Structure 1
């Protein structure tokens, strides 16, 4: 695969602060160690090589000590570099850190727009690529006319990690990967902003992603949401939210590059878009986890059953300005697939309320032999899970009435996310109060019907 973009030299200076400067109210950092590494598109290329496959980096390097250092570091990481000439100094980002905490960041070099012509070998690499990642850091490389024209003609899938100071992706990219702040800024530019500024966090990200997908004529837009994973707007109207596993601490610098590199490697291998995003979230989480500074957060306390318990949760969370998440289902014979969906849903907000079909409702939906487990036991089992804050039982065939009472910010369902994904039945209802319906990945191979069939077969 080929990575295209601006490369920087990152230098982390670590030390300790034991006194203040005598001539200014500033701490004095006693340097203990320094680490130089590729940053920007260079980091994305190194990570892509780590995730698998041969990687070519098309970038711009100055003829100076910084450029030579980057060339050596990239070569050692197994990345082949095709460099455009750069006028001036190689861009550097220096982070001064005391006890692992950043005190100051110094940026120098790399005047925007100081990029020369693309060599023929770089353009040939783009023609022959199995996948292309454009890692734009807003310094002008992807505005270079020959490179941009070659990206527009590429037959391989193109993933574009945009920058607010950079150009729009070429039309027809397979996937764009902005973060939340970039979505708000980019989607609001040139529009009224009303469709991307209101509603819950998920609704705002969804509206912005859909606007960018339309404007850029992109196949999909994946919004990276930091510790909360990613939101994918693909073919259907309902987004897929892929939560990250819980990570407390760690250095998130470079997590976006990790996500973009991993998703491009997965697409180059022929993976479906939804699966590629899931893999990228896992890899980005592992990247952050590798620099953990503290242990994981404590397990939440179990929830309660009934409208009174749910009402208390809603009042507390809304008084604090939090987000209410709800999900629903029969949850007959609770299994690992259910738990995965519930855990993923809980990470999307500040509380999770489960809307549980009553015994009568389950019989109407599943037939006279269901449920296997009664509603009281099903509710108690759900409420005992650490990720569930409250359980509300309803008798109707759909959760419309209980949702109208709860008015959650996010409604979550577990399921596949394919090209023919239809809008969730509850999506229109959620829009009445500015809520958002989302899908989360479903754990394959788990189903209550399969468990019941296996139990009956074993009893014969």
Structure 2
């Protein structure tokens, strides 16, 4: 699935430390800054969340050429699995700096966050949006979502794919026909010009009534297929269809220290679920739960921790961390693939030769189901768990990734190795994945093949022995 996040990217600067005393010349805390983290915010945060979940994402945005943009580009480059398609912004990079003490936010400073002219869009940006299977518009009021050419393309795409629009008070109205618009309660009430009724966190019934009233107004005004008003710890109010009655999606009870990023998490999860074909109400329930889990884990602070291993396809042994660690050191990532049903000397020689070409070797291993489809019901002779264990016992293999498809194309696109290695019984021009590997600048190479060693010959010999 081609996931595209479109919108304004900000530079978020988190200054974290401890406050143990007051300033002698004013009654304010003194924060001893222990850590400064620069990360992508706005649409960049939504994209980062999806990438951290293990998805490949294209971020379509505009970037400046100032110093803050350099920090922003560096932060985006750290996101493995993110492709950035960016045009010129023509405006300063918005920077939001937060100071936290003991994890609690104290103050935020905004720079370059004033109004900006509507930027131009490039043909490459339009092509990326046109290729999307699901589109999240993350509008942060910097003008990109107001571009007329882009809006017309989004309107056309909304009739073909799920489009989720996360609006901003200073941004553009959503285009008609999108699958869902996701304002929070304050944004919904402002957009609906509804100042009546209590909406404070302590007035639950008032909040629900205000959300239903504002959401109904916006559903008619925006002509979207649904409006989902997020309500923080109360969950979300879902409205669909003419004369809609709001449907509350309650949230699990969590302790929230810092709600920053919860709306982005909700919108990203909703878009992903709709992209998978999940029905809207069920998708909203998943999005509410994932936003609550995000906050319970520490919110945006949790993104600074090392991500847990991402398991791909059945019983995969994690390979993504090995790839990331190798790339962090400037190393070359090598991958190879196959069934490796009965491990023999020919396999070990070829794997050792492949490992010598780089700094880590990832083996993409066909699952049991995949082997049966490729080689018949009598195969594999050895199950996938044992095959993976045997491969990992070889000193030349750094990780094994089990995949269920008949072709390794999907896992290759996720790993994006520098070198894809096969035995010399294959021609690199004949391999269907060779073109895919070339698409990210990788190379397909062959290593010596040992015809006297084969799984089929071993299987026949074993059968003959009875």
What TM-score, normalized by structure 1, do the two folds share? 0.59
1:204–1:19 CA distance, 2 compared to 1 (3 A): closer
Query: Is 1:73 the counterpart of 2:75 in the alignment?
Result: yes
RMSD of the TM alignment (CA)? Answer: 2.3
Counterpart in the other structure of 2:249? 242
Matched residue SS, 1:37: strand
Matches within 5 A, 1:42-57: 42-51=44-53, 53-57=55-59
Counterpart in the other structure of 2:15? 13
- The farther-off stretch of 103-112 and 37-46 is 103-112
Query: Is 1:169 the counterpart of 2:171 in the alignment?
Result: no
Q: Structure 2 CA distance, aligned partners of 1:239 and 1:206?
A: 5
Counterpart in the other structure of 1:221? 227
1:134 to 123, 137, 140: 137
Q: How many residues are paired up?
A: 289
Q: Structure 2 CA distance, aligned partners of 1:196 and 1:205?
A: 11
Q: Structure 1 CA distance, aligned partners of 2:50 and 2:6?
A: 12
Counterpart in the other structure of 1:2? 4
1:196–1:188 CA distance, 2 compared to 1 (3 A): farther
Q: CA-to-partner distance for each residue in 1:235-291, whole Å, 9 max, x for gaps? A: 373322111111023421100000000000111111110111011011101100111
The answer (yes or no) to whether the contact 1:221–1:234 under 8 Å persists in 2 is yes
Q: Structure 1 CA distance, aligned partners of 2:274 and 2:144?
A: 24
1:185 deviates by 0.9
1:110 deviates by 4.5
Structure 2 alignment gaps of length 5 or more: 300-466
1:97 deviates by 1.4
Matches within 5 A, 1:60-459: 60-77=62-79, 78-114=81-117, 116-154=119-157, 155-188=160-193, 200-235=206-241, 237-291=244-298
Structure 1 alignment gaps of length 5 or more: 293-460
Counterpart in the other structure of 1:457? none
Q: CA-to-partner distance for each residue in 1:39-65, whole Å, 9 max, x for gaps? A: 111001111233453211111211133
1:211–1:6 CA distance, 2 compared to 1 (3 A): same
1:196 deviates by 10
Q: CA-to-partner distance for each residue in 1:127-160, whole Å, 9 max, x for gaps? A: 1111111111112121122222221221322111
Query: Is 1:58 the counterpart of 2:60 in the alignment?
Result: yes
1:119 deviates by 1.4
1:104 deviates by 1.3
Q: Structure 2 CA distance, aligned partners of 1:114 and 1:62?
A: 13
1:62–1:111 CA distance, 2 compared to 1 (3 A): farther
1:5–1:196 CA distance, 2 compared to 1 (3 A): farther
